[in-house]
């Protein structure tokens, strides 16, 4: 079995060594330009077109939860990866618990009014504030995939009403599910904290814009954990300045690193992190990849395959 590996920032020798332990019969090599030798599987992140083009592969694995970088290249170079070759993504591999930690910590931060107390501290103001109540602090999650389900589960444990909006209706205990464009307004009107975990598709790009934000409750919050292209940044800033939104927490941006001239850096009610909400954890990812390749070699149908028409 021949496996080629390419990631511009990962510790490639470490990944190859650990994968070799899990797949002792495989020959795993780092791909370099000019390597046209046969391969059965490709493990990639932002792969050059020539790495995949013309190969007869059994499967390709994206080394992350998102596959938009590969799908965007396929629009310009459809010959890079024929539809007959399965594309897999890392469904969880440790990302679920990281998303839970991030979402719960931020929702609790807003719920306990720590942002307001921080503002008072800057003014040397000692003033206890009225508590928020759980029943008036509904959390709405856009995107009900693996990560969305994990975040919903963790917030329920803290007593928050939770709702989700997705392409298809979900039957999750204690979670109110909304589906499709026709139910988006109803989903938004009852949401106090909007968490974005949507996949990056043509339909979802730019979805968080002025008309959507206007349907949220006044003094709502936005937490973007998916992709920067989902948010129209000018509209988000306008909603913050008007008071429609009370605060926003952003982990992802349309341009990364975020340019120094972006007003998001300086807005008093925007908090940000540098795309660290959930990162690939090598041991979990390696175990998943090895298990999935083993299943494929046995002729089984493992989970995690991307529907390239839907984009996730």
Q: pLDDT for 262-280, tens place per residue?
A: 999 999 999 999 999 999 9
Residue 92 pLDDT exceeds 90: no
Give pLDDT, residue 58: 98
Let me know if residue 301 belongs to a domain.
no
| CATH number assigned to the domain comprising residue 80 | 3.40.50.720
Let me know if residue 307 belongs to a domain.
no
CB 31 within 8 A of CB 16: no
Q: Quick one: 158 and 43 in the same domain?
A: no
Domain count, the chain: 2
Q: Quick one: 207 and 229 in the same domain?
A: yes
Q: Quick one: 20 and 115 in the same domain?
A: no
Q: Quick one: 76 and 167 in the same domain?
A: no
Q: Which residues of 275-299 are buried (b: 16+ CB within 10 A; e: fewer)?
A: bebbebbbebbbbbbbebbeebeee
Residue 31 pLDDT exceeds 90: yes
pTM for the full model?
A: 0.92
Let me know if residue 311 belongs to a domain.
no
Residues 94-100: what's their mean pLDDT? Answer: 95
Let me know if residue 262 belongs to a domain.
yes
Query: Which structural domain range is residue 49 located in?
Result: 1-91+279-296
Q: Quick one: 85 and 100 in the same domain?
A: no
Residues 32-58: what's their mean pLDDT? Answer: 96
CB 69 within 8 A of CB 46: yes
What percent of the chain is modeled with pLDDT above 90? Answer: 94
Q: Quick one: 120 and 220 in the same domain?
A: yes
Instruction: Report the alpha-carbon distance of residue 164 to residue 143 in Å, rounded.
Output: 7
Give pLDDT, residue 93: 87
Residues 6+ apart with CB under 8 A from 277: 98, 99, 102, 225, 251, 252
Q: Quick one: 73 and 107 in the same domain?
A: no
Residues annotated as part of the active site: 227, 275
68: left (phi over 0), alpha (psi -120 to 50) or beta: alpha
198-222 pLDDT, tens per residue?
Answer: 999 999 999 999 999 999 999 999 9
């Amino acid at each position: 079995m021949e496996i080629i590996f390419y990631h511009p920032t990962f510790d490639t020798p470490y990944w190859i060594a650990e994968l070799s332990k899990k797949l002792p019969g495989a020959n795993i090599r780092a791909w370099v330009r000019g390597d046209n030798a046969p391969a059965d599987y490709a493990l990639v992140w932002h792969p050059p077109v020539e790495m995949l083009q013309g190969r007869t592969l059994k499967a390709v694995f994206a080394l992350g939860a998102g596959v938009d970088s590969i799908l965007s290249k396929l629009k310009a170079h459809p010959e890079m990866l024929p539809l007959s070759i399965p594309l897999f993504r890392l469904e969880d591999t440790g990302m679920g618990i990281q998303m839970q930690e991030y979402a719960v910590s931020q929702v609790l931060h807003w719920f306990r009014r720590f942002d307001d107390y921080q503002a008072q501290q800057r003014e040397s103001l000692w003033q206890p504030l009225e508590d928020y109540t759980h029943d008036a602090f509904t959390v709405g999650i856009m995107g009900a995939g693996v990560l969305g389900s994990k975040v919903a589960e963790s917030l329920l444990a803290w007593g928050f009403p939770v709702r989700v909006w997705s392409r298809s209706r979900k039957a999750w205990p204690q979670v109110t599910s909304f589906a499709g464009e026709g139910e988006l307004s109803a989903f938004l009107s009852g949401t106090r904290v909007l968490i974005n975990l949507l996949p990056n598709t043509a339909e979802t790009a730019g979805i968080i814009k002025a008309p959507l934000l206007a349907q949220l409750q006044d003094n709502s919050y936005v937490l973007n954990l998916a992709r920067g292209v989902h948010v129209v940044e000018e509209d988000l800033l306008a909603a913050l300045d008007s008071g429609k939104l009370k605060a926003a927490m952003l982990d992802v941006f349309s341009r990364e690193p975020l340019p120094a001239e972006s007003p998001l850096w300086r807005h008093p009610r925007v908090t940000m992190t540098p795309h660290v909400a959930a990162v690939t954890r090598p041991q979990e990812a390696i175990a998943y990849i090895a298990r999935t390749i083993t299943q494929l070699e046995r002729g089984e149908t493992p989970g995690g395959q991307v529907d390239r028409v839907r984009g996730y």
